[in-house]
Amino acid sequence: MTELLWHDFFKIGIDFIDDDHKGLLKIMQEIKSTIKECDYKKRTSLLALLLKEAEEHFSREENFLSEVNFPGQEKHKMYHKELLIKADATKRLCEGVESEDDMVKCFDGMFEFLIDDILRGDIKFKSYLEYEGYIKKTS
Ligand SMILES: [Fe+2]
Ligand SMILES: [Fe+2]
């Protein structure tokens, strides 16, 4: 199963973004426990919460990128949109799965979307923020 722990290399350096990312990881960890506990009701509500929180995070992040005039903001917006479509489709798929093994696989696919946002997506604006002096250079 995908590891859902926070690592320092995930850190962007903008507090609300890092807090949002940590919060999303936490919801995913909770979803993971509901698989083991076979708590279907809790899992369904956590899944809805995850998508809602992800959507809100994306929109906060997009507002910020517009404030700092990030040149790739339109592309990043599209990227978020695609991630949400992908996550929603995976959520529907996961809800129909019954065996624990298949469920783990299904959620792994879904969780990757957020890790994708941080590692592949947000890293692109991190270097811009460093260059423009919004955050301190970390490496
Ligand atoms: Fe993000
Ligand atoms: Fe992002």
**Per-residue model confidence as pLDDT tens digits over 8-19:** 888 999 999 999
- Tell me, in angstroms, the distance from the centre of ligand 1 to residue 57's CA: 7
Return the ligand number nearest the Cα of 22: 1
Given a contact cutoff of 8 angstroms between Cβ atoms, the answer to whether 73 and 66 are in contact is yes
Return the ligand number nearest the Cα of 114: 1
How far is it, in rounded angstroms, from Cα 119 to Cα 9?
9
**12-131 classified as CATH 2.40.400.10:** no
- Tell me, in angstroms, the distance from the centre of ligand 1 to residue 111's CA: 13
- Tell me, in angstroms, the distance from the centre of ligand 1 to residue 65's CA: 11
What share of the chain has pLDDT > 90, as a percent?
47
| Residue 117 pLDDT | 78
Which residues surround the ion ligand 2 when the cut-off is CB under 5 Å? Answer: 61, 117, 121-122
- Tell me, in angstroms, the distance from the centre of ligand 1 to residue 32's CA: 21
Residue with tokens 């936490």: 26
How far is it, in rounded angstroms, from Cα 116 to Cα 107?
14
Q: How many CB atoms lie within 10 A of CB 60?
A: 13
- Answer yes or no: is pLDDT of 20 > 70: yes
How far is it, in rounded angstroms, from Cα 80 to Cα 82?
5
- For the entire predicted model, the pTM comes to 0.89
Return the ligand number nearest the Cα of 73: 2
What share of the chain has pLDDT > 70, as a percent?
97
Given a contact cutoff of 8 angstroms between Cβ atoms, the answer to whether 91 and 72 are in contact is no
How far is it, in rounded angstroms, from Cα 105 to Cα 124?
28
Mean per-residue pLDDT for 97-107?
79
- Tell me, in angstroms, the distance from the centre of ligand 1 to residue 66's CA: 14
- pLDDT band, very low/low/confident/very high, at 1 (cuts 50, 70, 90): low
Given a contact cutoff of 8 angstroms between Cβ atoms, the answer to whether 108 and 1 are in contact is yes
Decide which of 40 and 61 is more confident. Answer: 61
